[in-house]
Structure 1
Amino acid sequence: MTNQDIICKVQDFFDAPDLTIDSAKLLSSNSTNSAVAIRMINAYKRFSLSQTIENKIEFECSLRNYLLFLKTDIKIKGYELSLPNRFGLMVHHSKGSIYANYDLPQYVNDFFVRTVFDSQPVQITTDENEIKDVNPYIYNLTNKKFRKFKSIEQQLAVMGSLRVPAGYTAMVAMSTGGGKSLITQTVSYQYDESLTVIIVPTISLMLDQHRNASKIINPKNDKEIMYYHSGCNVDNLVSAIEKRCVRMLFVSPEALIKNPRIQNSIFKANSGGYLKNLVIDEAHIIIEWGASFRVDFQCLDSFRRILAKDNPSLRTYLLSATFSKKTVDNLKMFYSDDDRWIEIRLDALRKEPRFDIIKCNSYTEKHNRIKELVCKLPRPMIIYVNSPDDADTLRSELAESGFNNTRVFTGRTGSADRERIINEWVNDKFDLMIATCAFGVGVDKKDVRTVIHSYVPSGPDQYYQECGRGGRDGLPCLGVMLYTDDDIKAAMSMTQKVLTVEKLSGRWFSMLNSRKANIQLDSILIDTSVKPNYNDSDKFYVDVNNADITWNVYVILLLRRAGLIQIIDVKYDKDRYFFNIELVDKRIRYDTPQTIDMFSKVREDESKSIYSDINELASKLRRIGKSCWSSMFNDIYLLTDEYCAGCNNHNNLHADKRKSFPLKKPVFFPELSPSEKLCDIMNGTKEMLIICEKNPYEITNKLFSSGADIIVVPDETEYASELLNIETIIPAQFCMGYREFFELSRMNSHYYLSGTIVFCIGDDEDLAGKVLNITSGKEYNRVYVVNSDFYVPRRNKHISELVNGACKYDYIIKKELT
């Protein structure tokens, strides 16, 4: 549906308003501007049914967004604008219509706001010739809906994931919106009669991924792709797993840790070899202990370790858009076994945000500006605040200004309310969310246009992740921060939230020496409900139901991060966690001066880490406008290229001018073994020349069907499309262009360039010389397909003289492969 179609349908509605009509059906389109129009019509219907000042304000705010996004005006019979109008709405008297001015305050970047309202997709330049077709496995799995990869980035991520050997963990970094879900879908169907468990952080993301997978794969029945969260029928799920009907199961970490029936059914599937893959989406929050303190998410490594002990061939995938060095180090420590670890790093900064950092002189000025920006900036909008009390205060202030259709999402928000609020948010029941850091990763509403920070977060990583709630549909968004000097001081005080050595020691030895602890020869079972051996009351730094249990869990996870203990297993019973741990350093078993010194070092390291993160952000705020705001993201996400769509330092795009290859780090191992069938026709050598005087497609198809791992083709050709319909399906095979091959060769990325590689050279003498020079002495098997035994000038020989192996015509190869 075009913008003009939307405008016509909306005007038709206002010419003859029907308050019973379903606006979603009226504007049946998934476009961003359709959603804008739907929210506006729904606001008008609420105002028509109850003409309160609050409903009028909500409608006029939605109307402003509609008129500026759609670049139009509108006639509404009998409607009188509120005066003075806070939303820049004006009456065009000669036309009798309402239009909107931007009417922005001077402290806001006018250019950025107009850019967001213009809704032009972020331009990502890609050479279409470099993007190759998917392989026959993906083509058929997706019911021929996916013919080409979205990008080389997606190809490397998906094909790299399919190449992961049994028993390995792969950490895959791939940008938001790059097509990461195809990884999960393809590895889930790579093996017959197999189960993949996909752990996702929120219900909304779970439902979204389930819906997308079902739509793309079109499963044979409703048991093939399933999900579970509290409220679902656990009997149906357990039965489907027992019957081996499930291929993909989307589940929350809490369900795995806290629901014994689901946990036991997964254990049973694992011991029977049915479970093949464990996928953890948004894996970076495993390490982000300070955000919403997702204990179950952080304890997944022990759950995985139990699975891997019983099923050593289990593959694990850790997926996210970006990983900081600290996150990588911790994930590798928790999830790698005997160096069976692969990093597929396609890290890239988000292209959508425009950053506008606004310093305020006082708390009052800041809040007055927030109330003004709520009227003027594009919606949907998230306002992040520092604490639940701050959220309640801001909600009350906005209500006094007439904004009643808001929601608050904090650490105090109960599970049932969280689910309801997220559903209402995703389904456009409201468009202004007030939240703490508890509302974040995995809440996948794609069309958020503005993210406002009314406080200074705990570091660039938290700030970047929260700004990342915006622009997930690939359209520009705003990242606005309003702060005072007091906000910086409040952020710096976070270092004081780390437990003192005395309290750290007190809680640890209280749990360890409690009568509730069960000490065995090689493990200790700890009950986290134990009270500490001191009288002070420790309030946790985010709102929780039981501060003692939460602090005790914090202590265990802190000592785990420090490498002093290992978590063997976690159980949840009667509202508390039971940790079965192993002491990696036996010295912490006893309360000695040496142990206190160790705890002092742990606390010091933790404080330094927190201080370093906060100081990075605080120092940037002190230099605002003097340097690019986004440069601090390159400092924490070390493999990303420079990219900033706009900030206080510059309005226009600043990006690395070099054309960077998506793979940021070489993947050296493990390497694939070549196909035995192809090894046989190569007579025990690593090279073979095939002369094909006619159409090369037939022999290429034959080699692909016989187990060739990679086909390398000229970038401008359509060779890959000829391979889509072959009958023999090998999931990890793929086709790449020569530019991609040369880059991977330059990086010595043996993980991708292994097995048997077929080079389609044709009669290109220069290409032949370059390929032979690069492939000489490599470990992978090489098959060169040429049109004739031509002369290679740069080597002063015919190509047959340069290939150290058999030279055969294509008709001979066809017979040998039959």
Structure 2
Amino acid sequence: MNLEIQLEKYFAYTSFRPGQKEIITSLLEGNHTIAMLPTGTGKSLCYQLPGYLLEGQVIIISPLLSLMQDQVEQLMMNGEKRVIAFNSFLTADEKNHALLQLHHYKFIFLSPEMLRSKSVIDGLKKLHISLFVIDEAHCISQWGYDFRPEYLKLGESRDKLGKPLTLALTATATKEVKNELIASLHLDHWNEFIYSVDRPNISLVVETVESYQEKSERIVELVKRLEGPGIIYFSSKKLTEWMSAYLREHGMTRVMAYHGGMEQENRVLIQQQFLHGQLDLICATSAFGMGINKEDIRFVIHFHMPLQLESYLQEIGRAGRDGKKSVAILLYSPGDEQLPYQIAEAELPSEVQVNAVYQYLEMNHHMTTNLASFEIDIRRISGLTETQWRIIRDYLVDQKELLLKVQFQKLTLFINERLQVKKRKISEMHLWICSQIQQCRRKKILKYFDEDMTIEVENCCDQCGIDLTVFDLKISKHQVANSSYNWKQQLANILLVSERSDEK
């Protein structure tokens, strides 16, 4: 089979990006496949094209509702109607109807939580599943930076579905993450395609500023100076909105905030405006970017320090997908590392919260058989967020055969281990930012992922020496901006020239 012909037939592309053809060939030959491709190198094509070439349905497990919706919309824009996102956006009636119609769909996107529903599993068992895809597969590993408890069940779900041909996709995974991923999915044989995390066309810059105010002022300078479009990442929803307003006050009108607390309709609208060039800049939390298929992003700025190198790479990887020169700038103020530690601790249940849940269940022991029914009461008395509750609930369900006291002892140990992993990741990120040794930043990242730097990169990083003027706005853009701004003067000049011509 000539895959290039099939690629052009289904997607109107004439050639594959590095790694795509090898991964697709592996799947078409019937091999379970683990693939690590850098952000922005077209991972979704690795299951979409085989999906068209294999008989049966493709099941895609995706961790984020926004990512799922984006991928569904992209397939629909490509003319594919047999696609559905099976997630919490569907009403009960819509879910029931979709379950009866599953055989009519080619691509079925599922959240990991939805896959744990007996009715969903029973519906999927009736299908001929040609490919079982785990997107963002690093979420499986307890050592992964974006660990999701629900992902740990995917191996069991895969077994229930008859161990279909499986593709695990991720952009960043260390060796320990990859090994746990393989074990969790119950793979007995597989092919691996591990490509470098490096994106040589993205220059890496860390700037140290002394204060919050100085950081805000530097953002204005950079945005006015750098060729866009661009993204600025924050760890605070409130700050995305404040900064977008601050930038508009300083003359940048084509900027909007984006975060997970916004209404879905507003998020979709802002995404579309950015994709179609109606916005030049997005001030966003990490909720923005996954699935955003925009090739010409020229810069990514981090206002806050990321929690780990893996997510930093994911976020800067949204720049330069067209292969052209782009820049990633991280602004650091002394003490910035405190916020990531606070975020890490807030994501996990505290010892006080765990003890509150234990005491509640100890007094109402019969409730442990159906935790979900008492979620509202348990969360109220313990003050758990939705994420914290999911961690406790899923862990207790796994350990339900043990005595309650033993379950909670193991849960406390598990939470402490997770917190230590998160703190280690923050420490590694902080060390990368603040290292006093004049060593290439790119080389340090590659070493973290057990890679060697094999090519010399021009304008590599601030440690190697970098010329930021390379990324400045082009003169022609300034001229366009100035001409549109000074239209009255332009008109006056035209009239003056016309009068002089008439006099002649």
Common fold: TM-score over 0.5: yes
Matched, 1:582 2:398: yes
Q: Could you tell me which residue of structure 2 aligns to residue 649 of structure 1?
A: 463
Aligned-pair distance for 1:400?
A: 2.6
Q: Which has the higher helix share?
A: 2
Measure the CA separation in 2 of the matches of 1:437 and 1:628: 26
Matched, 1:551 2:388: yes
- Where 2:375 maps in the other structure, the secondary structure is coil
Measure the CA separation in 1 of the matches of 2:96 and 2:5: 31
- Shift of the 477–583 alpha-carbon distance from structure 1 to 2, 3 Å rule, reads same
| Aligned counterpart for 1:160 among listed residues 8, 11, 26 | 26
Q: Could you tell me which residue of structure 1 aligns to residue 298 of structure 2?
A: 449
TM-score normalized by the length of structure 1: 0.49
- Where 2:46 maps in the other structure, the secondary structure is helix
The 5 A counterparts of 1:380-779 are 380-497=229-346, 498-507=348-357, 510=360, 514=364, 517=367, 519=369, 526-527=372-373, 529-532=375-378, 537=383, 547=385, 549-556=386-393, 559=395, 581-583=397-399, 586-587=401-402, 589-591=403-405, 598-623=410-435, 626-639=438-451, 641=453, 646-651=460-465
| Aligned counterpart for 1:253 among listed residues 111, 115, 119 | 111
**Higher alpha-carbon deviation: 402-411 or 469-478:** 402-411
Matched, 1:336 2:186: yes
Letter in 1 for 2:159: A
- Where 1:485 maps in the other structure, the secondary structure is coil
Measure the CA separation in 2 of the matches of 1:652 and 1:282: 32
CA contact (8 A) 1:506 1:534 kept: no
Measure the CA separation in 1 of the matches of 2:374 and 2:177: 26
Structure 1, residues 107-149: CA drift from partner, whole Å, max 9, x if none?
A: xxxxxxxxxxxxxxxxxxxxxxxxxxxx346635754988986
Aligned-pair distance for 1:266?
A: 7.0
Matched, 1:172 2:35: yes
TM-score normalized by the length of structure 2: 0.77
CA contact (8 A) 2:38 2:171 kept: yes
Q: Which has the larger radius of gyration?
A: 1
CA contact (8 A) 1:174 1:180 kept: yes
Measure the CA separation in 1 of the matches of 2:190 and 2:373: 33
Of the two structures, which has the highest relative contact order with CA contacts closer than 8 Å and spacing of 6 or more? Answer: 2
Q: Which has the higher strand share?
A: 1
Measure the CA separation in 2 of the matches of 1:602 and 1:266: 29
Q: How many residues are aligned here?
A: 457
- The CA RMSD over aligned residues, in Å, is 3.9
Matched, 1:305 2:156: yes
Aligned-pair distance for 1:618?
A: 1.0
Aligned-pair distance for 1:458?
A: 0.7
Structure 1, residues 57-89: CA drift from partner, whole Å, max 9, x if none?
A: xxxxxxxxxxxxxxxxxxxxxxxxxxxxxxxxx
Letter in 2 for 1:157: I
- Where 1:188 maps in the other structure, the secondary structure is helix
Measure the CA separation in 2 of the matches of 1:140 and 1:533: 52
CA contact (8 A) 2:432 2:441 kept: yes
Q: Could you tell me which residue of structure 2 aligns to residue 113 of structure 1?
A: none
| Aligned counterpart for 2:48 among listed residues 179, 185, 199 | 185
Letter in 1 for 2:399: L
Measure the CA separation in 1 of the matches of 2:271 and 2:20: 29
Aligned-pair distance for 1:484?
A: 0.5
Q: Could you tell me which residue of structure 2 aligns to residue 196 of structure 1?
A: 58
Q: Could you tell me which residue of structure 2 aligns to residue 663 of structure 1?
A: none
CA contact (8 A) 1:281 1:320 kept: yes
Q: Could you tell me which residue of structure 2 aligns to residue 95 of structure 1?
A: none
Aligned-pair distance for 1:530?
A: 4.1
Letter in 1 for 2:440: C
- Shift of the 240–185 alpha-carbon distance from structure 1 to 2, 3 Å rule, reads farther
Q: Could you tell me which residue of structure 2 aligns to residue 103 of structure 1?
A: none
CA contact (8 A) 2:38 2:196 kept: yes
CA contact (8 A) 1:384 1:455 kept: yes
Q: Could you tell me which residue of structure 1 aligns to residue 493 of structure 2?
A: none
CA contact (8 A) 2:72 2:83 kept: no
Aligned-pair distance for 1:554?
A: 2.9
- Shift of the 617–528 alpha-carbon distance from structure 1 to 2, 3 Å rule, reads farther
CA contact (8 A) 1:528 1:553 kept: no
- Where 1:447 maps in the other structure, the secondary structure is coil
Measure the CA separation in 2 of the matches of 1:256 and 1:470: 32
- Shift of the 154–426 alpha-carbon distance from structure 1 to 2, 3 Å rule, reads same
- Shift of the 142–640 alpha-carbon distance from structure 1 to 2, 3 Å rule, reads farther
- Shift of the 513–254 alpha-carbon distance from structure 1 to 2, 3 Å rule, reads farther
- Shift of the 514–334 alpha-carbon distance from structure 1 to 2, 3 Å rule, reads farther
CA contact (8 A) 2:443 2:453 kept: no
Structure 1, residues 737-775: CA drift from partner, whole Å, max 9, x if none?
A: xxxxxxxxxxxxxxxxxxxxxxxxxxxxxxxxxxxxxxx
- Shift of the 407–327 alpha-carbon distance from structure 1 to 2, 3 Å rule, reads farther
Measure the CA separation in 2 of the matches of 1:459 and 1:141: 36
Q: Could you tell me which residue of structure 2 aligns to residue 805 of structure 1?
A: none
Aligned-pair distance for 1:387?
A: 0.8
- Shift of the 512–273 alpha-carbon distance from structure 1 to 2, 3 Å rule, reads farther
Aligned-pair distance for 1:162?
A: 2.2
Aligned-pair distance for 1:253?
A: 2.1
Measure the CA separation in 2 of the matches of 1:140 and 1:530: 51
Measure the CA separation in 2 of the matches of 1:237 and 1:304: 27
CA contact (8 A) 1:360 1:482 kept: yes
CA contact (8 A) 2:204 2:328 kept: yes
Structure 1, residues 413-472: CA drift from partner, whole Å, max 9, x if none?
A: 222222222222212221111111222322232211111111111111121111111111
CA contact (8 A) 1:138 1:186 kept: no
What are structure 1's unaligned runs of at least 5 residues?
1-134, 215-221, 539-546, 560-564, 566-580, 654-818
Measure the CA separation in 1 of the matches of 2:362 and 2:268: 37
Letter in 1 for 2:306: P
Aligned-pair distance for 1:583?
A: 1.9
Structure 1, residues 561-586: CA drift from partner, whole Å, max 9, x if none?
A: xxxx6xxxxxxxxxxxxxxx3328x5
What are structure 2's unaligned runs of at least 5 residues?
468-504
Aligned-pair distance for 1:354?
A: 0.7
Q: Could you tell me which residue of structure 2 aligns to residue 282 of structure 1?
A: 136
- Where 1:318 maps in the other structure, the secondary structure is strand
Measure the CA separation in 1 of the matches of 2:202 and 2:334: 24
Letter in 2 for 1:197: I
- Where 2:279 maps in the other structure, the secondary structure is coil
Measure the CA separation in 2 of the matches of 1:603 and 1:280: 25
Structure 1, residues 485-543: CA drift from partner, whole Å, max 9, x if none?
A: 02133334445434333423433564687578362xxxx654472444996745xxxxx
Q: Could you tell me which residue of structure 1 aligns to residue 169 of structure 2?
A: 319
Measure the CA separation in 2 of the matches of 1:404 and 1:254: 39
- Shift of the 240–636 alpha-carbon distance from structure 1 to 2, 3 Å rule, reads farther
Measure the CA separation in 2 of the matches of 1:147 and 1:366: 42
CA contact (8 A) 2:57 2:108 kept: no
**Higher alpha-carbon deviation: 446-455 or 424-433:** 424-433
Letter in 2 for 1:378: E
- Shift of the 136–385 alpha-carbon distance from structure 1 to 2, 3 Å rule, reads closer
Quote the sequence identity (%): 20
CA contact (8 A) 1:624 1:648 kept: no
Measure the CA separation in 2 of the matches of 1:325 and 1:513: 44
CA contact (8 A) 1:383 1:451 kept: yes
